[in-house]
Structure 1
Amino acid sequence: METDIKEVKTLYDLYRQLNVSGNLVQSSEVFTIHNLVDIGFKLPYRSQPFRPNYFSFLFVKNGVGAYTIDDQTFHAEPYSIYFTNPSNYRTFSWEKIEEVYLITFDEDFLRKYLREDVFDNFPFLLTETLSPKNATPSFYAKVEEIYLLMYREYHAGGANKYKIIGNLLSVLLFYIKEYFWEEYNPIYEGNRKSQIVKSFKQLLEKHYRDLTVGKIEVAYGVQDYAAAQGLHPSYFSSVIKSKTGKPIVHWIGEKTTSIAKSMLQNSQTSIKEITYRLGFSETAHFSNHFKKHTGISPTQYREHYQNGQPI
Structure 2
Amino acid sequence: MESSESLQEFYRRTQVRVFPSCHSDSGLGHFNVFSRDNCALVTPYSRRDFYKVSLIVGKGKLHYADKWIRVDKPALLFSNPVVPYSWEADDDDQKGWFCLFTDQFLQNGTRLGNLQDSPLFRIGGTPVFFVNDEQQKTVSGIFEKMMAEIESDYIHKYDMLRNYLHLLIHETMKMHPAENFEHYQNASQRVASLFMELLERQFPIDSPDAYLKLRSPNDYAESLSIHVNSLNRSVKEVTGKTTSQQITSRIIQEANALLKHTDWNISEIAYGLGFEEPAYFTNYFKKQTGNTPNALRSDLV
Provide TM-score, normalisation by structure 1.
0.51
Aligned to 2:64: 69
1:88-103 pair list within 5 angstroms:
88-94=83-89, 95-103=91-99
Aligned to 2:80: 85
| Of 221, 228, 245, the match for 1:242 | 221
Note the alpha carbon deviations across 1:55-113, whole angstroms, 9 max, x for none: 211112x3122221212222233321111111133222222344221121121112115
| Deviation of 1:118 (Å) | 6.0
Q: Which segments of 5 or more consecutive residues in structure 2 lack a partner in the other structure?
A: 24-28, 178-215, 226-301
Decide whether the 8 Å contact of 2:103 with 2:115 is kept in 1.
Answer: no
Distance (Å, rounded) in 1 between the aligned partners of 2:118 and 2:150: 23
Higher RCO (CA 8 Å, separation ≥ 6 residues): 2
**Alpha-carbon spacing, 1:164–1:121, altered in 2? closer, same or farther (3 Å):** farther
* Residue correspondences, number: 181
Q: Look at both structures and tell me which one has the larger radius of gyration over its CA atoms.
A: 2
**Alpha-carbon spacing, 1:84–1:21, altered in 2? closer, same or farther (3 Å):** closer
Aligned to 2:280: none
- Alignment partner of 1:164 is 2:163: no
**Alpha-carbon spacing, 1:47–1:83, altered in 2? closer, same or farther (3 Å):** same
Tell me which amino acid in the other structure corresponds to 1:155.
Answer: E
- Alignment partner of 1:54 is 2:54: no
Q: CA RMSD in A?
A: 2.8
**Alpha-carbon spacing, 1:104–1:15, altered in 2? closer, same or farther (3 Å):** same
1:22-41 pair list within 5 angstroms:
23=18, 26=21, 28=23, 29-39=29-39, 41=40
Decide whether the 8 Å contact of 1:67 with 1:73 is kept in 2.
Answer: yes
Distance (Å, rounded) in 2 between the aligned partners of 1:129 and 1:16: 30
1:191-202 pair list within 5 angstroms:
none
Note the alpha carbon deviations across 1:259-280, whole angstroms, 9 max, x for none: xxxxxxxxxxxxxxxxxxxxxx
**Alpha-carbon spacing, 1:7–1:24, altered in 2? closer, same or farther (3 Å):** farther
Decide whether the 8 Å contact of 2:119 with 2:125 is kept in 1.
Answer: no
| Deviation of 1:8 (Å) | 3.9
Distance (Å, rounded) in 2 between the aligned partners of 1:103 and 1:66: 20
Provide TM-score, normalisation by structure 2.
0.52
- Alignment partner of 1:109 is 2:105: yes
Note the alpha carbon deviations across 1:190-248, whole angstroms, 9 max, x for none: xxxxxxxxxxxxxxxxxxxxxxxxxxxxxxxxxxxxxxxxxxxxxxx7435412359xx
| Deviation of 1:177 (Å) | 0.8
**Alpha-carbon spacing, 1:55–1:90, altered in 2? closer, same or farther (3 Å):** same
- Alignment partner of 1:173 is 2:169: yes
**Alpha-carbon spacing, 1:155–1:127, altered in 2? closer, same or farther (3 Å):** farther
Decide whether the 8 Å contact of 2:78 with 2:120 is kept in 1.
Answer: no
**Alpha-carbon spacing, 1:30–1:143, altered in 2? closer, same or farther (3 Å):** same
| Deviation of 1:165 (Å) | 0.7
Distance (Å, rounded) in 2 between the aligned partners of 1:78 and 1:101: 15
Distance (Å, rounded) in 2 between the aligned partners of 1:69 and 1:82: 13
- Alignment partner of 1:16 is 2:15: no
Distance (Å, rounded) in 2 between the aligned partners of 1:113 and 1:153: 19
